[in-house]
Amino acid sequence: MSTQPRLCTTPAAVTDAVAVLLLSDYLVLDCEGKDIGRTDGLLSVICIGTAHAEHIFVFDTLALTRSEPAMAPLLDLMKNERVCKVVWDGRQDFLEILDNYGVRLGGVLDLQLAEVTSRSAVRGEDDRRRLYRLSSGYLSFQLARKIKKDLNDIHLVIGLQKCLELTRLQDTVGKDAEVVAMHKANGGVPWMERPLSSQLIQYAANDIYAIDLLYKFFLQKNWIKLNTLPLLLDQSKRYVSTQWQQGRTERTHPFRIGALVPLDVLKSPQTTLERCSGCERMLSLPCFEHKRQSGILRKSRCRLCNVIAAKKRLPCDEGWMRVTHTGRPGEVI
């Protein structure tokens, strides 16, 4: 990677960066911090790169708070729906930017989700292969057979490094092994210490470069097609907001959204919404096992949370709730 990232800690640096970012055809965005998205999560930096990673800016969120006037043009840019922001799993990024700066990240194109949708639409993956992927990468084959009926429309996601390996781009850019080891260690990465080390600044910039490489690969291989781009943007918008909808969670939360595509993302909700007692998201009725009995009854947990419960050997969802059609939780019966 030849691009030297620029750390922005002052109002003047932000103003200069925004002037460059405004000229780019698209932006690449990623956030780093301490356990971002979790109950005790803290945002450290927002990294934004221009097209082809020609310029990469690392904004220090400890120095540049919401009250800093110079941040207003950058926040306007981040929430602008007409400016494409390419991300890889932007769920925690969306939550942290909204919580810290009060703006919803707009115009998001999430490559993690694009990789999932390209499997059947472009790469010819059939339902048998989807189930095999779930069996080998998340569930056991025995459990997958047992709960097969619950796995309709359930998709496994992959991580950034796994996708680099899948596309054979891992030798072009990769994760700093020392920082990866820090992430796995109990002490974690010192993202909240200042001054930021050059190693961490470069680590953050490398993710921008990697996401941009994958974006160009996806376009070249038609994993992202121009005629279906509006649909992918709508799906990405729903996808990145799911962690915020669920709220910050403890590391041990049994239904913390992670390795599976959340429900009501690939398809837009078309019915009134009911609250799942597992992930606590408001979801449409098809996301629940339901039946007609003097009205409509549904299980209290959504189908995806029941899959997670089966994997973690949690108690089965035995109860039924009456669907009230009010958008509020049903009445336990």
Which one has a higher pLDDT value, 228 or 256?
228
CA separation for the pair 111, 259 (Å, rounded): 15
pLDDT at 276 exceeding the cut of 90? yes
pLDDT for 333 equals 37
**Mean of per-residue pLDDT scores for the chain:** 91
Residue 232 lies in a domain: yes
Whether residues 102 and 242 fall in one domain: yes
Residue 235: give its domain's CATH number: 3.30.420.10
pLDDT for 160 equals 95
pLDDT at 327 exceeding the cut of 70? no
Whether residues 54 and 93 fall in one domain: yes
Which of 109, 74, 86 lies closest to 239 in space, CA to CA? 109
CA separation for the pair 256, 280 (Å, rounded): 10
Residue 57 lies in a domain: yes
Whether residues 279 and 234 fall in one domain: no
Whether residues 208 and 328 fall in one domain: no
Task: Show the domain range for 16.
Answer: 6-113+168-246
pLDDT at 324 exceeding the cut of 90? no
Whether residues 106 and 12 fall in one domain: yes
DSSP three-state, residue 10: coil
Whether residues 183 and 321 fall in one domain: no
Angle between helices 127-137 and 111-121 (to 10 degrees): 140
Strands (E), the chain: 6-8, 27-34, 42-50, 56-60, 85-87, 108-110, 273-275, 282-284, 290-292, 296-299, 320-322, 331-332
Residue 259 lies in a domain: no
Considering the entire predicted model, what is its pTM? 0.93
Boundary (domain end) residue, out of 246, 263, 293 = 246
pLDDT for 156 equals 97
pLDDT for 330 equals 43
Residue 260 lies in a domain: no
CB 15: neighbour CB atoms within 10 A? 14
Number of domains in the chain: 2
Which one has a higher pLDDT value, 202 or 331?
202
Q: What percent of the chain has pLDDT over 90?
A: 80
pLDDT for 328 equals 46
Whether residues 328 and 184 fall in one domain: no
Whether residues 285 and 186 fall in one domain: no
Angle between helices 229-240 and 111-121 (to 10 degrees): 130
Beta-ladder partners of 249: 38
pLDDT at 28 exceeding the cut of 70? yes
Whether residues 238 and 94 fall in one domain: yes
pLDDT for 295 equals 84
Does residue 301 contact residue 277 with C-beta atoms inside 8 Å?
yes
Residue 124 lies in a domain: no
Whether residues 97 and 241 fall in one domain: yes
Averaged pLDDT, 140-154: 92
pLDDT for 176 equals 65
- pLDDT tens by residue, 39-87: 999 999 999 999 999 999 999 999 999 999 999 999 999 999 999 999 9
Residue 86 lies in a domain: yes
CB 170: neighbour CB atoms within 10 A? 15
Whether residues 57 and 200 fall in one domain: yes
Two structure tokens written together for 186: 């109990």
Residue 177 lies in a domain: yes
Whether residues 178 and 321 fall in one domain: no
Please report, for residues 98, 129, 250, the alpha-carbon distance to residue 155 in angstroms, rounded to integers and kept in the order given. 27, 11, 23
Residue 56 lies in a domain: yes
- pLDDT tens by residue, 174-186: 666 676 666 666 5
Q: What percent of the chain has pLDDT over 70?
A: 92
- Tokens 């049903």 identify what position? 330
Averaged pLDDT, 149-171: 93
